[in-house]
Every structure is written in C-alpha cells, then in structure tokens.
C-alpha cells in the first residue's frame, strides 16, 4: 500500500481481507470445501482438502465393527463381519448412520484415519486389498460419491477387542448456512 492510497481503497482492501479470513470466496457468500485430487492418479482419496473457516468441523470417535452375528463368540471376527472387507463395510455403514443422525452424509467426510489389525489369515499383515474392497463401496465412485476424503491407513498391533480388524475415525464438515 502506498502513502497515496485513498481511504476507500484501503477500506476495500480491508473488506476483502476480512472476507478471506471469514472463509468467504467473495464478500457475497461462503466458500465451499475444496478437494485437491492426487495428480495423475485414480486412487480414491484426496491429496489435500481446504475447509473454509465458516464451516463447522464434526469429529467422530473411532468406530469399530458392529455385531452382525450374535451366535458367534464376542472374540470371533465372524461376529463382526468376518474379514477386513466385511468389517470395513460394517464400520462405514455405522459411520454413515451416525452422520445421517447429525444431518450429514458421507459426502461431508473430509478426513479419515483407518486402523487395521494384521489378519491372521494373511500371515499377520493388514489386508489392505480387503479394506479397499469395502472402502470403494462408499468412496471413489464419481457418480455416487465424488467427494473423496484425505486418508491415512495404519497397521496396528491390536484394537480393544481381539476380534476387531478395523477401526475408523472420520472428520466431516458441516457447511455454513
């Protein structure tokens, strides 16, 4: 800014700066969540996401698979969907239901952290392929779900129940109204 700047120019500059800080794309309205794709990749996650300051972050605690077969022992993975794919589907359905109860949907998910236990049937290694088979039923289809979250996936030694192979926590964004 030069010393010859006029007061109206300074006020316009200040108004634009405040609008940007408030998460507005323009002084006329709220900005949208911006999802940056991974360059030259079709992998179903976002490389980065920008959340406007005007949006509300909604953090869900980690979800483990729900019981799907009550005839199985509570320490049997089959009680919770069996393998990593089945448990992933159960967890994501539970997350979808919780989000719906909050007036949100899977399209509002911007960040996901996935914890996978090594599958004994896979030599103690996480079943990433099985996880992806379940995950892509909810994310990655441009027609059903164009909004991809950022995501980290970790192999962990164990979860709260030895039968759990999957735990997922998510962050969603409630757009400003």
Question: Is the residue at 107 inside a domain?
Answer: yes
Q: By three-state DSSP, how is residue 12 classified?
A: helix
CATH of the domain at 162: 3.30.1330.40
Question: Is the residue at 14 inside a domain?
Answer: no
- Which pLDDT tens digit goes with each residue over 134-172? 999 999 877 767 789 999 999 999 999 999 999 999 999
Question: Is the residue at 136 inside a domain?
Answer: yes
Question: Is the residue at 113 inside a domain?
Answer: yes
Question: Is the residue at 1 inside a domain?
Answer: no
Question: Is the residue at 96 inside a domain?
Answer: yes
- Which pLDDT tens digit goes with each residue over 43-64? 999 999 999 998 999 999 999 9
Pair of tokens at residue 133: 């088979």
The pLDDT-based confidence of 27 (bands split at 50, 70, 90) is very low
Question: Is the residue at 29 inside a domain?
Answer: no
Q: Structural domain tally of the chain?
A: 1
Mean per-residue pLDDT for 28-43? 82
- Burial (0-12, 13-18, 19+ Cβ within 10 Å), 150: middle
Cα 3 from chain centroid (whole Å): 48
* pLDDT value, residue 8: 52
Task: Print the domain residue range for 95.
Answer: 54-174
């Amino acid at each position: 800014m030069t010393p010859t700047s006029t007061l109206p120019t300074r006020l316009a500059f200040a108004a634009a700066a405040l609008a940007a800080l408030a998460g507005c794309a323009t002084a006329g309205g709220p900005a949208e969540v911006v999802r940056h794709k991974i360059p030259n990749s079709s992998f179903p996650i976002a490389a980065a996401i920008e959340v406007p300051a005007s949006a509300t972050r909604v953090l869900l605690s980690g979800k483990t698979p729900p019981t799907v077969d009550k005839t199985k022992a509570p320490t049997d993975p089959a009680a919770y969907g069996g393998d990593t794919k089945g448990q992933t589907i159960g967890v994501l359905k539970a997350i979808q239901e919780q989000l719906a109860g909050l007036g949100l949907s899977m399209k509002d998910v911007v960040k996901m952290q996935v914890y996978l236990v090594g599958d004994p049937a896979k030599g103690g290694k996480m079943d990433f392929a099985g996880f992806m088979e379940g995950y892509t039923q909810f994310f990655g289809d441009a027609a059903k779900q164009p909004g991809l979250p950022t995501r980290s996936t970790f192999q962990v030694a164990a979860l709260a129940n030895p039968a759990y192979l999957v735990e997922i926590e998510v962050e969603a964004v409630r757009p400003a109204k």
